[in-house]
Each structure stands twice: as C-alpha cells, then as structure tokens.
Chain A
C-alpha cells in the first residue's frame, strides 16, 4: 500500500512540470509586446526596456522558462504589479477561501450524487428514478452562474433568509456559524452540476454491477436485498465512481470562478477574473498553476482511495 502511494506520488512530478510548461507557454502566447500590454499608456521606450529586463523577456524562451520555474520551485512567483504584493501571498490567501467553498461543495455533490444515483438505479423506471433523472438533466443543463443569481434573488432578495454575498458578515460575525450561513448558497450552486454528473454515473455503474455474477451469488446466499444493494453492489460500483468524483473536483474548482464572481466570494476564481481584466499576468500564472496543481493532488487522493477500496489495483 505505501509503495503504491509512493509510486503515484512520483508519477505526479512530471505532470506538475508539464502543467508549468503549458502555463508558461500560454502566457508566452500573448500577442504583441507584453511590456506594452502591461504598461498601456505609459509605454515609453525606456519603460518598455526596463520591464523587459525586469521580467527577463529579453532572453530566449527556454531560458525564460528555466528562470521562472527555478523561482517558482523556491516559492517566488514574482510580484503582482496591480496589487503590488508577492503573487504567492495573494494566491495562498485567496486559495484558502476557494478550498473551503470547493471542499464543502465536493462533499455535498458526492453525497447527493451517490445517493440519488443509487436510489435511481434501485427504483429503475419508478417515479423516483424519473424525478431524479429529470433533476439531473436540468442540473447539468443549467448555467451555474444563472442558478446562483436565481438563488440569490429567491433567498436573499425575496425571502431575505440568507446573505447574498461575501464570506463573512461585514459587521459582527466572523465565526464558524457565520461562515456556514454564507456558504449555503454558493456551495449548493457549485455542487449542482457535479452532483448531476455523479448521480448519472452512479446510476449507470449500479445497473452494470447489479448484473454481475457476484451479485447473484450474494442473492443466492439469502442476503436481504438491502445488503445486496449497499454492501455488494454499491461497494463494487464505488470503485468506478471515485475517479469520476476526482474529475468532478476539477469541474468544481473551475466552476468556482463563476460562483465566486456571482457571490463575491473572496477566492482565487474571482481573483483570476480580476487579474485577467487588469492583465496582471504573473498573478494569473501563479493562480492557474496553484489551482491546477491542487487538482492533480485531488486526483491523486482519488486514486489512492480507489486502490484502498479495490484490492486488485493495489498489487
């Protein structure tokens, strides 16, 4: 088991380097002169030259990358010129807020999705299955930012029972209860699509597993149907669902960009959108790299969980 984890950890390293190359190349794609883009109206020849030298843009691409990645490995992502503070400080601060939101969402969508999928499979073609199938279809067809606006309108404007935005109340608050109240709407909104995808796949996986010989064996042993479904079929289906939950972590982290903008959640998604419009390239670079790396780690956790469930993968 530990050997398996070590093997997976080692496999992560090249992926992280690949990510850094893509992030770097995308930024190198910037049409025209980066310095001019940054400086805008202040692009005097001296300023342009100074920026180019500061950012190392006068060197060849490979060397630029090596310098950048060397700094990144040492925790230096450069300075955000719009915020005038180190990129890493800003990114880590924002990322905490995103992790709270995305983490709660991921738990929420997994629980709802698994439950709905199992019920849907067990009651195949019954009214519960039809209702769930309908909600799943609606959920995955809905723009999440629109759903967020609808929920804000209903719960914050119309009924006035939940806050419309922010992570904590401006006056007072700041405790866990305050955080949870502020989390309800954004976390739910963010969970809807992923819950739909997970429910769909769970239903399919359960139907597939329920046809397997070992489920028939469980029935032939005289196990109650409940035990057959949850201990035998669900356990086996879970193995194919867990990687999907890992992938959903990516959709949740990406979807956070919209949700944080809609709910003014002080996370990394909202930061990225702002950084893109101010063309704060280093901040975008650092933010994207950190989120992508965390997604790789999410998937690693999913892999390890899967191997814990399925003894055949471990060896």
Chain B
C-alpha cells in the first residue's frame, strides 16, 4: 500500500524540497524578506527621487529626523542622511558580498586542492591556513590594510583574506571524506583528468558546505567592512558606506545622535537578516538538524494524561507491568514501539525478556522508571506497579527518588554509559550519596567495598581510574556496583553482556546471578540471546514487534516453544559442530521484516 503510494506520486526535485523547507522556517523567511527589501532598495536607489548624497549644505547641518525634505535629517555637512544611507547601503552590501565571493572562491579552491591532493600538499597548505587562523580575527585585516593603505578596495581584500581559512578548513574536511569514495575512483578509472574529477564529482558534493559557510560568514564580512570604514580605513570621504557614515557621525554623538545611530540600525538589519537566513540554510542543508533530532530529553518520560490505568494483575510481585504502550512522536503521528506489554517479576526471581533488536524490549525496560527519552518518547497507556504503587502516577521528584534506590539499571555498553570525566569510584559514591545521607568518608569506604564485591581487584586503586582506563568487563562490573549501591528490590539489566567478549560475558552473568540469589532481588534480564536466557533466567518472555508473543518457565519454553518466532530465536543459539546448518537457520529468521525504531 505504502509502496504503491510512493511510486505513483512524482518525486519532487531536491532543490524544491529544500526551498520549501527553508520557507517553512518562519525566521529564515523573515530574513529572506528583509534581505529582499534591502536588495530592492539598493537596486532602485539610482531612480529614486533622492537628493545628491554628497551635496553639502552648511546652512542645513544636523537637522533632526523627520525634517521636511530630509526624512532622516542631515549630517554635519548638511547632506541628506536618507540619500547617503541608501547609497551607502549599496556600497556596503556590494563590498560585503564581493568579499564573501572572493573568500568563498579562493578558500574553497584551497580546501578542495588540499583535500584532493592529500599528503604533503595538504599538510603544507593547511599549516599555512592554521597560521592565518592563529591571528586574532580582525587584526590580520588591520595589518593588511596597514600595508596596502586605507581604501575601500583594500578593506575588501583584507576582509576576504581573513575569511579564507574558514572556507578552506570546512571544504577540505568534506573533500577528504569524498576523495576515496567509489564514485571518485570510478571516475579516475574511466580516464577523467584531475580537474574534471574535481569539477564534476567533488564540487557538487561540497557545494552545500560552501553555501553554509557563505551564509554564516557573509554577516561577519559586512560587519567587518563597516568596522574598517568606521575606523577610517575603508571608504574614504566623500564616498558614503554605512561604516564611514557611523564613523563620521560619531563626533556629533552628543548633539545629534541620529547621525551615527541611523546607519548602525541599517547594518544591524542587514546582518540580522543574513544571520536568520544563514541559520535557516544551515538547518536545511545539515541533515542532522533537519528532523529536530536535537530535542532535549526531559528528566522523566512524558505520560499521556488520558492513559488507561489497568489494575495490578500480579499482586505480590516486586515489579508488575500491565498493558504498557510506549511510542515515539514523529511529527504529528505517534509511532508505537511497545504495544500492550504485561509482565511481572517476583522477588528473588529472574525474568528474561528476549527479542531481536527493535522488538521494543529496551523501550519496555526504560519505560519502567520513565527513562525513555522524551521528547520524542510518550507512554500512552498502561501502568507500572512497584509493590502496589503505580510508578507512572508518581510525582516527578518521587519517581526520581525511587530510581536507583528501589529499581536500578545496568546498561548495555559501559563505555558510553559511564561518565568519561569522573573516576569510577566517584560515580559509585554518587549513586550511594543520592539516596543515603552518610559522611563522605563512609561513602568512599562503601564504594570501595562494592567494587570489591563485584570482583574488581585492587578496588581502592581502581576506584581512582577513569572509565577509559578500565577493560570492558571491569567497566561493566562498575556498572553493576552502581546498581547494587542501594540494595534495590529490582535490577533491570538491559543487555549487560552484549558488548563484552564471550569469556567475560560468562563471568558477568555468573556475578549477576550470584548477587541476585544472595540478596533476593528481582532481576529483569533483557537479551537477544537464548543461550544467556537458559543460563540465568527462571522464566522468559519473548517479545516481537512491541508485543509479548510467548511467556513461560525457561525450561518449558526451551523444550517446547509454541510460537514460530520463539523457535527461530532458539535456533539462533549456535552449538559446536553445527556447521552451515546454523547459518541457514538464522537466515530464515527474519522473512521480510520491517525496520522499527529501537
């Protein structure tokens, strides 16, 4: 159905979609409109009925705003400010854009050459660029103007030169990414020359970066040109540009502030519209930002206000999930990830939740303590009972207080889940201190004790190390130590061994199993591996496409799987000597499955 709709609708060319996206951005549109008005004005200046911008009239000097015949008043020589403003805008915009074009052309050429040539050429060119960037931004422009002498054209060159490095660096970075791609190799093999490859294969791909850099630097360049003119190093009298008008009007600041304020407003409007447009262009051309992917996840997953709250179906369980439905907002629709999952874990029991990646098992686990990133996550229906209390109905502070103290998590990849900038001991201490008010010294002792408990040798020394200094297995032991810190009733282990070597995996499983037995905790163990389930879990729930398709005692499910999907998952556990039969079994596992957001 959806495939049919796709083929029948004619595909719009990319350019138009980009335009439409840009126009959807209200601020960018405002910038575009403002810029259009400025452009219209400077095109029309020669035919507008304006007085001569350079005609002085000493008798009419420093007339205020709204004087008859002088809408914006006159300056210290009696020249009409409106006329000078419009002519000056023409000059400033022209110089700014010329500088942008020169910087873009030269900088991109350097960047492409360096990236394409690579090796020593690249190194030498980039060292030179680094040198230019080692100057404070405007200082180099000053030095160049100092050498060439004041004047508008010299200011233009100076501004262009100091902006070349931005283009060169950005373009080189992107070019490097394309030089060794297959289509470039193919072009080379087909006998194209270097120039032809650069122009037809590389340039079209780096163009978006050039456009982004242009749109972000054009505003600066107009500001800096105005700045040099303001200092008297750009446009020379009597020629007006916005910066020199400001500079000349400065002496009258105390008596006639409008002479210098008005041109500044114009610069401000031009630059702000350029910046608005530039931000819009960047958002459109930078796909990472396009979907608004950088929304800030809140402290607690959003829970739909009108959700159905089913009663607790398993009294006496440590943790009981009933009718849980979690989805992700995408635009105005909600993509379901978990559809009506119910399960429970009794104290001292280990429940395995198994399914392929994307089946919704992690989302289920994270939903329990409201840890699904939201936006875009949303719990639409269902309840999570901890004892007899519904976690999803708790006020935020209470829910946070229960995290780690009653329900603790052990996550998958301990390299990304431990904070890279704190010693591991401190991270364990923090977990303790979050829920217990004990002295810092006692807290440190307890943390070392926990690290010892989870089998980290020389725990006191190790506690001072950072995560990147530990092995994968040791990092995961730290993760387990953090989870144990407050003797929780429930531990949720979300694929805790997936990122580890097989031998380490076995040790970690053993550790978890021993600790759980010793302390009588409930363990919800999430995995995609039936081999692991058979080792550690009392019961197992099989999950597929956001639903639980089968549940039961581990031994029974293994011996007599009911659901076809369960059978295929079990077939996935390799045994020594199976040979290629194993691969056949795996290949038949996923007939035409659809990608689901995890």
Contact = CB atoms under 8 A, between A and B. Distances in A.
Interface of A: 15, 18-19, 21-23, 26-27, 29-31, 121-122, 124, 137-138, 140-143, 145-146, 149-150, 152-153, 157, 204, 206-208, 210-225, 227-228, 232, 235-236, 239, 249-251, 253-255, 257-258, 261-262, 272-273, 275-277, 279, 281, 284, 288, 291-292, 295-296, 299, 309-312
Q: Chain A at the B interface: mostly helix, strand, loop or mixed?
A: helix
Interface stretch (B66-74, B174-182, B290-298): B290-298
Interface string B397-410: 10011111100110
Interface in B269-297: 271-272, 274-276, 294-297
A236 B422 CA distance: 10
B418 interface: yes
Contact of A211 (B261, B294, B397, B402): B294
Contact of B405 (A218, A222, A284, A288): A222
Interface in B388-432: 397, 400-405, 408-409, 411, 413, 416-422, 430-431
Contact of B136 (A149, A204, A207, A253): A253
A239 B147 CA distance: 39
A157 B252 CA distance: 12
Interface in B222-246: 223, 226-227, 230-233, 243, 246
A272 B295 CA distance: 46
A309 B139 contact: no
A142 B134 contact: no
Chain B, interface size category, equals 35 or more
B268 A142 contact: yes
A30 B137 CA distance: 21
A43 B135 CA distance: 34
Given A143-B226, A220-B369, A15 B148 contact: no
18 contacts: A15-B130, A15-B134, A26-B147, A27-B143, A122-B296, A145-B246, A213-B416, A216-B371, A217-B409, A217-B411, A223-B430, A235-B421, A239-B421, A249-B136, A251-B138, A273-B142, A288-B140, A310-B421
A149 B299 contact: no
A311 B268 contact: no
A223 B254 CA distance: 56
Given A18-B127, A153-B261, A311-B466, 10 more contacts: A19-B135, A29-B144, A143-B243, A143-B246, A217-B409, A217-B411, A222-B402, A222-B403, A222-B405, A311-B420
A210 B253 contact: no
A221 B294 contact: no
A207 B226 CA distance: 35
A21 B219 CA distance: 30
B257 interface: yes
B431 to A, nearest CB: 4
A215 B148 CA distance: 54
A207 B482 CA distance: 25
Nearest to A288: B143
Most chain A CB within 10 A, of B150, B264, B267, B296, is at B296
B296 A207 contact: yes
A258 B147 CA distance: 19
Contact of B411 (A15, A216, A225, A254): A216
Contacts, number: 245
A149 B232 CA distance: 16
Most chain A CB within 10 A, of B146, B149, B246, is at B146
A207 B294 contact: yes
B189 interface: no
Most chain B CB within 10 A, of A121, A122, A258, is at A258
Nearest to A236: B421
Contacts of B145: 276
A255 B139 CA distance: 9
Given A250-B135, A273-B231, A310-B421, A221 B271 contact: no
Interface string B70-96: 000000000000000000000000000
B260 interface: yes
A295 B138 CA distance: 12
B404 A295 contact: no
A225 B299 contact: yes
B296 A232 contact: no
A276 B135 CA distance: 18
B435 interface: yes
B373 A211 contact: yes
B557 to A, nearest CB: 29
A221 B434 contact: yes
Contacts of A213: 411, 413, 416-417
B335 to A, nearest CB: 18
A258 B231 contact: yes
Contacts of A288: 135, 139-140, 142-143
B40 interface: no
Contacts of A217: 409, 411, 417-419, 479, 482
Contacts of B568: none
A272 B142 contact: yes
